[in-house]
Structure 1
Amino acid sequence: MIKRKQHNRCVTIGIIYIATIISQAMTDDPRFAEPIPNVTVALGRDASLPCVVENLGTYKVAWIHIDRQMILTIHRHVISRVPRFSVSHDNAKTWLLHVSSVQKEDRGYYMCQVNTNPMISQVGYLQVVVPPNIIDTESTQSTVAVRENQNISLTCKADGFPTPKIMWRREDGQAISVEKRKKVNVYEGDQLNLTRISRTEMGAYLCIATNSIPPSVSKRIIVDVEFSPMIWVPNQLVGAPAGTDVTIDCHTEAYPRAISYWVYENVMLLPTKKYGTETMENSYRAHMKLTVRNLQVGDFGNYRCISKNSLGETEGSIRLYEIPMPSTPPRATEMKSNSNKENSGKRNHSRHFNQEDQTKVVMVSSSDRDTVKAGPAYDSGVEFYTPPTPPNSGCVSIVRWAAPQIAAVILHSVFSDTLFLTQN
């Protein structure tokens, strides 16, 4: 009996203890179950701040924007006149403050408050990050011009959160000259100073702003370097034979872009069937070509390539002269009689004559060979040969061949005797 009484007493105490705990829980004041997290959101996106309250009872929850000192919501009602704010409750412990299309001014501390006595509250932070944006009104305009060997400063301003970093690059990938002492592929800073700028530094420069919040932005600034024209002539003397085509050329550099043309004997040459002109341009460089077709005597002389812009004028000179047409040297010709091959060794002789005694070679076709009469030996330029005689000439041909030789011997003897008598 005693043990049963003790057991009943323990049960009763336990029930009373549990009831006391439940009673105490029902009568506890409200408290926050967890802190409000710090929330980061990009500009224009939506954000939500949670406030978790236990034992709220009949108390009410309010949201306040501390930085703007503005009451946003009380319990389920929106007090603020900004339509982007709203509140929701999950019928448990969580009260959510919603901010749609977040703006820069929404950044700051938000307080979740419960109207107990004394009042309890906790604070969370809404961070609004802003992608970089280049401020055109505070930056260098998109195109600038500067004279060669002068100084120029390029400025690029950007806003955003966090504060953007500014980098400079050349669009063509070339290095940037910094104070003429070193070259860098990337330059950091909102101002780029180009000292004693040269024509090789002409081109597009990119100002790039980034702060780790996508997207990065850039601005393209074109730098034009102005200078008067310059001309280089690869070949100042050009020779070509008459009757051929010839091409002459000049290389020019100028900015602003120059007007380039060719002049011959103070007359501007325009594209015609006689003259062909071609100009290939690349940035501030140009390659001029002039083709003169079917060269004649009047086409040789001095040609000028002229280039001019608003800053000056210059010219180059090319002299075109005539050279002889290349030819092949003459070849020795050996001609034999087909009808008297067996006697060719006796009848073909080589003799040297004076220039005035030489006779042109007469070429006779095989169809006219029978009508040709025997004659004196002809000079081929290298050897002398005897034209073939008609068949059946027999001894007549021998006599005809020997008669001039005998006559020459007789005349030589007579003249020698006469000269001897005269001297005596």
Structure 2
Amino acid sequence: MNTLTLHSGAFIETIKILHIIITLPISTASNERFFSSLKRLKSYIRTIMSNDRLSDLMVIALEKEDAGKVNLNAAVDEFAQLKYSIGDTTELKCTVLYASDFNILWIKVDKERSTDPVTFSSGSTLIIKDSRLSLRYDMDSNSYSLQISNIQETDAGFYRCDVNLGTNNKLSAETELIVRRRPFISDNSTRSLVVNEGQSVTLECYAGGYPSPKVSWRRANNAILSKNISIFRGNILKIPSITKEDRGTYFCVAENGVGRGARRHIAIEVEFAPVITIPKRHLGQALQYDMDLECHVEAYPPPAIIWLNNGIQLSNNQHYKISHFATTDEITDTTIRIISIENRQYGDYVCKASNVLGTTEVTVTLYETIIPVCPPACGQLPSSSHLKNSTINFTSSSFLIVLYLFFVYFNF
């Protein structure tokens, strides 16, 4: 070996083969979690070696300089795990040389909850009465096979095969049964929030399932998140200073490739002071015709809205008609109709909205025009008082002209 090492450049493949032969461990276990120590490995091989010893084989060949880079425990754990989905069927096989001379037990161990082990079988007798469980002893292979059909989430855990050699003397091998589970959103995740504009907001979403789900965040209608992206990946989404534009529905989505994944809707309400917009700040209308002044209000909580003229709050009467239409919890459109405008009604009108976070007001100016404005005066006749005055004027000033035209018409 030393000679080969000195001339390693010429005998590369020969040296690799010798390393593999020297470091070759052989296991006859079917899905058994072993190799915890050299002593247990020695006892295990001596006990179960048979013609089927190559049914499952894991070979680890390590160069000396790479040995420290390998996590052997992780490699053995991955080898020993059984991964199934709900509804599948699995068979756990324990092969023991001279099995008929010893009592063989199949036991389930719950290491997370530290509860007492549950013995499923003793020898060829099934102790747990469950239609999904069956036990089969094969004399030719000296094996006891525990079959679990229609696997459920509760079947996950460590299953151990114990060989009782005598008082306080036994051999054990175990494997972990992992049940793939579709994602679910944990209860400690964020639900709905009501916050003030400008606050820092943290949304948290945690999910369970196997494999471990990946969590992402989206908004309804693929709206842009506060980070100017449409999808954010991670459990925690932070909004440093929330605005009213950030309000709405957020989706926490957990996916792991099993099933359709899980989704939670998180509604964020942002409380903010009223914001008022108006179509036009100056509107004109002829005397004795109606006119509508409009005001668009955004606020949450919903605000109280009033109209004022010369500092006096207006209400519904023969001169004014006020209406409010709420399209959402945050948006209200309000209109005041000035009926049969009189001279004294021209001037400034104030739309004022208030909630717990503040007060906002906007002024709309109404001025007089000669020609009626449509809408809202489309097809509208002047008020009756205006028509009366026009009739009086017609009778007194135009009668002689009409009479003169009548006389001229009949003489020609």
TM-score (norm 1): 0.59
In the TM superposition, 1:122-141 aligns within 5 A as 125-136=176-187, 138-140=188-190
Q: For residues 165 and 306 of structure 1, what CA distance do their matches in structure 2 show?
A: 48
1:223 is matched with: 268
Amino acid at match of 2:205: C
Q: For residues 114 and 365 of structure 1, what CA distance do their matches in structure 2 show?
A: 140
In the TM superposition, 1:13-412 aligns within 5 A as 32=52, 34=55, 39-43=82-86, 45=87, 47-49=89-91, 51=93, 62=104, 64-65=106-107, 67=109, 71-79=119-127, 81=128, 83=130, 86-89=133-136, 96-99=145-148, 102-104=152-154, 106-111=156-161, 125-136=176-187, 138-140=188-190, 142-178=191-227, 183-265=228-310, 266-270=312-316, 274-275=320-321, 277-282=323-328, 284-325=330-371, 360=401, 362-364=404-406, 369=410
Amino acid at match of 1:86: L
RMSD value, Cα: 4.1
User: Does the residue aligned with 1:250 lie in a helix, a strand or coil?
Assistant: strand
1:276-296 superposed Cα distances (whole Å, 9 cap, x missing partner)? 524343453333222333333
| Rg larger in structure | 1
Alignment check: 8 A CA contact 1:274 1:294 kept: no
2:69 is matched with: none
Alignment check: 8 A CA contact 2:160 2:172 kept: no
Q: 1:191 Cα deviation (Å)? A: 1.0
Q: 1:226 Cα deviation (Å)? A: 1.8
Alignment check: 8 A CA contact 1:204 1:221 kept: yes
1:403 is matched with: none
1:143–1:122 distance in 2 versus 1, CA, 3 Å: closer
Q: 1:274 Cα deviation (Å)? A: 5.0
User: Does the residue aligned with 2:314 lie in a helix, a strand or coil?
Assistant: strand
Q: For residues 282 and 120 of structure 1, what CA distance do their matches in structure 2 show?
A: 71
1:385 is matched with: none
Aligned length: 301
Q: For residues 271 and 71 of structure 1, what CA distance do their matches in structure 2 show?
A: 86
Which deviates more from structure 2 when the two are superposed, residues 301-310 or residues 105-114? 105-114
Give structure 1 regions of 4+ aligned residues with deviation exceeding 6 angstroms.
Answer: 52-61, 90-94, 112-115, 119-123
1:258-314 superposed Cα distances (whole Å, 9 cap, x missing partner)? 122323451332387952524343453333222333333343333221111111222
Amino acid at match of 1:291: R
Larger relative contact order (Cα-Cα within 8 Å, sequence gap ≥ 6): 2
TM-score (norm 2): 0.60
Alignment check: 8 A CA contact 1:73 1:86 kept: no
1:58–1:196 distance in 2 versus 1, CA, 3 Å: closer
1:123–1:151 distance in 2 versus 1, CA, 3 Å: closer
Alignment check: 8 A CA contact 1:73 1:87 kept: no
1:82–1:130 distance in 2 versus 1, CA, 3 Å: farther
Alignment check: 8 A CA contact 1:244 1:295 kept: yes
Alignment check: 8 A CA contact 1:301 1:321 kept: yes
Alignment check: 8 A CA contact 2:283 2:366 kept: yes
Structure 1: tracts of 5 or more residues without a match: 1-28, 327-358, 373-387, 389-424
User: Does the residue aligned with 1:270 lie in a helix, a strand or coil?
Assistant: coil
